[in-house]
Amino acid sequence: MIAFCSQDSVPALDNQPDVGTYPKRIPERLDTSTWRAWQHDAEPLVHGIFLRSDTMLLAKAALFLLVDAAFLLTDNWFTAVGCLEPPVELGRTRIRCQCQCGDKYFDDVLEHREGGGAALTREMHLSTGADITMASYSPQSSTQRYTFRYPSWMRVVYRKVFSRLAGLYQRSSSLPHHNDNNTVSKTPDGSASPTLKQNTHHLMSSVHHSRDHTVLLQDQIETIMNDRALFDFLKQRLSRRRNRILLALSCRSIESVFFTKFRLLICGSAEVRHHNPCCTSTNPKICECIPPASKIEPASNAEYRCIRTDTWPPVGPRYLAHILKCPKRIDERQTWILNLVPKRTCGELGGGTDEPAEGWGLYFEEGWDVDIILGIIIFMIVLGSLMFGVCWTVFESDIQGAFGVSGYMITAGGVLMAFVVRRMA
């Protein structure tokens, strides 16, 4: 084999590289060539982005993106707090109300027939005298509005203080006069109309016994003649079940009142059938939250007395929750809501042994009371930062550093407040 090879083709042993140098030199040359190739390919791209383009345009684009993200986060926070309305869903009509007490709220309704929303707003205005406006879904423009308002507890304190001061001023500047407490109006009872006592009407209400447990209340309401008497009765009934102090400490309140269908279990608890998603998942126009026509008078096997409406819900849930807090705003002549509420005419509903019994009535939905939670957080943050600033100033004689740290505490409290509200939403 060696005889057929020339001397040029056979490498000299003296010129052979050291075997031990291969693991060190070859990777070094590979790394160097790879890095330089990558750098050579990346240079035109970097120059095209930063040198051959408008830097002002890039800065404006980044600024606009930052502003959009800030507005998006701010809108979500305002919506969670209740200072900004959520977007109106397709096919819905938003009804905005402003009560004479200053409270603002809204409800979204679905019209089964044309003109149902207008009829609903007319009845709402006649009932409470509130200022009402309507806004339909529009893809071209946003229907969201900011609803900045003072917390409910702050408005209550302001009204009480103002009324007390006004009473003291009137008492000091006017002559004494006789007391008219004996002339107050009384709720009409059953003796005024003996014909209505022939049938017993039961109003069924599903309320929270605890956060995750609901019970069914069945009350006779045949002696109630108008909407004000109905909500006076419901307010007293609910206040007797829950202690006001414990309810405030739980940071929960009734935020909506729904017309709903429920099932009464044999143990006495009620299983609420929520409209969303039980009814909206199949056909929005077929709703089981109110009794069917076969169970409403004047059907032969009627079990309930009520009137069907052309909208869902028949009355706004937030509107019902609001007049539950202040039923004195309702006109005494109005019987509109009383006629809409399903009233059982064949005795109390009892849970069966084989399967739960189905019934219709009102569901009082509870939720986190944002006003109370924010009030507690603000009070703790302000009080804590003020105490820290005073103590640090007294013991360290550094007022600038003390209130600088207090400012950081207030900022951290604001971040905590936003996190709490976001988690609640």
Last residue of a domain, one of 350, 369, 388: 369
Reported as a single tens digit per residue, the pLDDT across 371-413 is 777 777 778 777 878 887 888 888 877 777 777 777 777 777 7
Q: Is residue 16's pLDDT more than 70?
A: no
Q: Is residue 191's pLDDT more than 60?
A: no
For residue 317, say if its preceding peptide bond is cis, omega within 30 degrees of 0: no
**Which of these ranges, 13-17, 38-42, 315-319, 344-348, has the smallest mean pLDDT?**
13-17
The pLDDT assigned to 348 comes to 87
CA distance 174 to 374: 42
Domain contains 251: yes
Q: Are residues 414 and 314 in the same domain?
A: no
Q: Are residues 349 and 392 in the same domain?
A: no
Q: How confident is the model at residue 229 (pLDDT cuts 50, 70, 90)?
A: very high
CA distance 290 to 296: 10
The pLDDT assigned to 179 comes to 46
Q: Are strands 104-111 and 270-273 parallel, antiparallel or unpaired?
A: unpaired
Q: pTM for this structure?
A: 0.67
Q: Looking at residues 125-143, what average pLDDT do you find?
A: 82
Domain contains 47: no
Q: How confident is the model at residue 259 (pLDDT cuts 50, 70, 90)?
A: very high
Closest CA to 293 of 307, 273, 310: 307
Domain contains 146: no
CA distance 314 to 207: 20
Q: Are residues 356 and 213 in the same domain?
A: yes
Q: Which residues contact 295 (CB under 8 A, 6 or more apart)?
A: 301, 302, 303, 304
Q: Are strands 202-208 and 357-368 parallel, antiparallel or unpaired?
A: parallel
Q: Are residues 250 and 334 in the same domain?
A: yes
| Most confident segment among 101-110, 220-229, 373-382 | 220-229
Of 244 and 53, the structure prediction assigns the larger pLDDT to 244
CA distance 42 to 105: 58
**Is-contact 217 205, C-beta < 8 A?**
yes
Domain contains 160: no
Residue identified by tokens 């990558």 is 38
Q: Are residues 237 and 326 in the same domain?
A: yes
Q: Are residues 251 and 280 in the same domain?
A: yes
CA distance 385 to 245: 27
Domain contains 401: yes
Residue identified by tokens 């409209």 is 275
Reported as a single tens digit per residue, the pLDDT across 20-44 is 444 444 444 444 456 666 667 666 6
| Most confident segment among 61-65, 90-94, 225-229, 293-297 | 225-229
Q: How confident is the model at residue 320 (pLDDT cuts 50, 70, 90)?
A: very high
Q: Is residue 115's pLDDT more than 80?
A: yes
Q: Is residue 267's pLDDT more than 90?
A: no
- Angle subtended by helix axes 227-241 and 317-325, to nearest 10: 80
Q: Are residues 246 and 384 in the same domain?
A: no
- Report, in angstroms and rounded to the nearest whole number, the Rg of the chain calculated over CA atoms: 36
The fraction of the chain above a pLDDT of 70, given in percent, is 63
Last residue of a domain, one of 369, 384, 408: 369
Q: Are residues 349 and 389 in the same domain?
A: no
Indicate the number of domains in the chain.
2
Phi-psi region of 394 (alpha: psi -120 to 50; beta: other; left: phi over 0): alpha
Q: Are residues 402 and 340 in the same domain?
A: no
**Is-contact 341 224, C-beta < 8 A?**
no
Integer CA distances (angstroms), 161 to 149, 157, 164, 241, 255, in order:
19, 6, 5, 29, 26
Residue identified by tokens 């006649």 is 126
Q: List the domain range (segments joined by +) for residue 238.
A: 196-369
DSSP 40-62: HHHHHHHHHHHTSS-HHHHHHHH
The pLDDT assigned to 152 comes to 64
